[in-house]
C-alpha cells in the first residue's frame, strides 16, 4: 500500500488474534480507509478509518484486501 491510496475493505483474510485485533479497530468489510503515511523506515504504515489513525505493520496490512482502490483521489 502506498501513501494516499484509499479504498473500501472487501475482506480481512486472517483469523486468530491478528484477525480479531484488526476487526476490533474497525477494519471490517465495507469500511473506507486511506493510507495517510508511513514511519521513517517505511514500516509501519498509517491508516485512516472511522476518524482515527491506525498504524499497521506492512505484513499485517497485507491481510487487508481493498476494492476500488484509488491513489490520490484518482483511479
- Shortest CB 31 distance to another protein, Å: 8
Question: Between 9 and 75, whose beta carbon lies closer to another protein?
Answer: 9
Residues that bind another protein (CB under 8 A): 11-13, 15-26, 28-29, 36-37, 39-44, 46, 48, 50-57, 60
- Shortest CB 24 distance to another protein, Å: 4
DSSP symbol at 28: -
- 45 contacts 56 by C-beta, under 8 angstroms: yes
d(CA 38, CA 14): 23
Question: Between 4 and 55, whose beta carbon lies closer to another protein?
Answer: 55
CA atoms within 13 A on the CB side of 45: 19
Question: Between 29 and 75, whose beta carbon lies closer to another protein?
Answer: 29
**Could you give the residue ranges of the DSSP H alpha helices within the chain?**
16-24, 58-61
Amino acid at each position: 500500500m502506498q501513501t494516499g491510496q484509499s479504498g473500501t475493505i472487501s475482506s480481512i483474510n486472517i483469523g486468530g488474534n491478528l484477525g480479531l485485533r484488526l476487526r476490533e479497530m474497525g477494519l471490517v468489510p465495507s469500511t473506507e480507509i486511506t493510507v495517510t503515511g508511513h514511519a521513517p523506515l517505511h514500516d509501519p504504515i498509517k491508516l485512516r478509518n472511522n476518524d482515527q489513525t491506525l498504524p499497521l505493520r506492512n505484513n499485517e496490512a497485507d491481510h487487508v484486501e481493498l476494492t476500488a482502490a484509488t491513489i490520490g483521489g484518482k483511479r
